[in-house]
Amino acid sequence: MTLKGSCLFSILLMGILHCQGQKSMMEEVSPQYLDTLIKIAKDSFPQYKVYQKQVGIAQNNLNKVKLSWFDGLGIYYLYLPPNGTGGGVNPTTNTNGFQLGFSLNVGSLLQKPAQINAARGQRDVARLEKEVYDLNLEAVVKERYFKYIQQVALLRQLTQLTVDAQSMLSSARTKFEKGQETFDNMSKAMVFYNQQNREKINVETDLMITKAQLEEILNQKLENIILTAPADQNQQLPAGRQPSNR
Domain ranges of the chain: 20-68+106-235
Q: What is the pLDDT of residue 68?
A: 72
Statement: the pTM of the whole predicted model exceeds 0.75: no
Per-residue pLDDT, 80: 65
Helix 31-44 with 106-177: angle, nearest 10 deg: 130
Distance, in Å, from the CA atom of 190 to the CA atom of 197, rounded to the nearest integer, reads 11
Tell me how far apart the alpha carbons of residues 191 and 48 are, in angstroms, rounded to a whole number: 50
**For residue 100, which amino acid is it?**
L
What pLDDT is attached to residue 149? 92
The CATH number of domain 20-68+106-235, selected from 3.40.710.10, 3.30.390.50, 1.20.1600.10, 3.40.50.1370: 1.20.1600.10
pLDDT the model gives residue 139? 93
Q: How far apart are the first and last CA of the chain?
A: 32
Give pLDDT, residue 119.
Answer: 83
Residue 212 CA to its chain's centroid (Å): 13
pLDDT value of position 10: 53
pLDDT at 38: 92
pLDDT of residue 238: 44
Q: Burial, 74: exposed, middle or buried (Cβ in 10 Å; 0-12, 13-18, 19+)? A: exposed
Residue in 5, 103, 119 with CA at minimum distance from that of residue 61: 119
Averaged over successive runs of 10 residues, the pLDDT of the chain (246 residues) comes to: 47 51 71 91 82 87 78 66 53 59 66 81 86 89 93 89 86 85 84 88 93 91 72 43 40
What one-letter code names the amino acid at 147?
K
User: pLDDT value at position 240?
Assistant: 43
